[in-house]
Amino acid sequence: MAQFKFTLNTVLQHRQRIEDQCQRDLARLLRQQLILQTQVQSLQQTIVDDKHDLADALNGPVNVDRVRRHGAHVNHVTVRVQQIIGQLVVLKRKIDQARQELAQAVQDRKALQVLHDREFSRWSQQIKRRETAELDELGLQSYVRQQREQVA
């Protein structure tokens, strides 16, 4: 039986590889975003916990050095949170760009996939017509043989 050969199959495979790479790139960026968001949440929880610890420490005699260190620590953590938020903003732009690239890659591949499907459908119909014609021919030959045998 004949086998379907799509002339642009190499291009279709290439577009599929591009789409797959775009998906991997987007997944990598989303993973980075999740890591940074988790870091921000952790640092924010650290600030909350430290404030509670300081409030507990302020009951009774006040250790000024501890209050000063706490303030410096909170400032350091706050600066780190702001840095991570800045990274998240940059990462958000990269994610948006990666999503657009993925959408374009999907669109490009699907356009070629539609062409592949149309050609396959045409090829399949041709095969069916050819097989039908062959079966008709065999039937006709069988009929002619039967008629000759009946005449003879």
- Phi/psi at 149 (5° precision): -65, -35
CATH of the domain at 81: 1.10.287.1700
Which residue segment(s) compose the domain that 113 sits in? Answer: 9-151
Residue 49: inside a domain: yes
Residue 126 and residue 129: Cα distance in Å, rounded?
Answer: 5
- Per residue in 63-118, pLDDT (tens digit) is 788 778 888 888 999 999 999 999 999 999 999 999 999 999 999 999 999 999 99
pLDDT at 143: 87
**pLDDT grade for 55, boundaries at 50, 70 and 90:** confident
Q: How many domains does the chain have?
A: 1
pLDDT at 91: 98
- Per residue in 8-54, pLDDT (tens digit) is 999 999 999 999 999 999 999 999 999 999 999 999 999 998 888 77
Cα 96 to chain centroid, rounded: 13
Amino acid at 86: G
The full 3-state SS of 88-112, as one line of letters, equals HHHHHHHHHHHHHHHHHHHHHHHHH
pTM across the whole model: 0.74
Residue 117 and residue 39: Cα distance in Å, rounded?
Answer: 47
Residue 88: inside a domain: yes
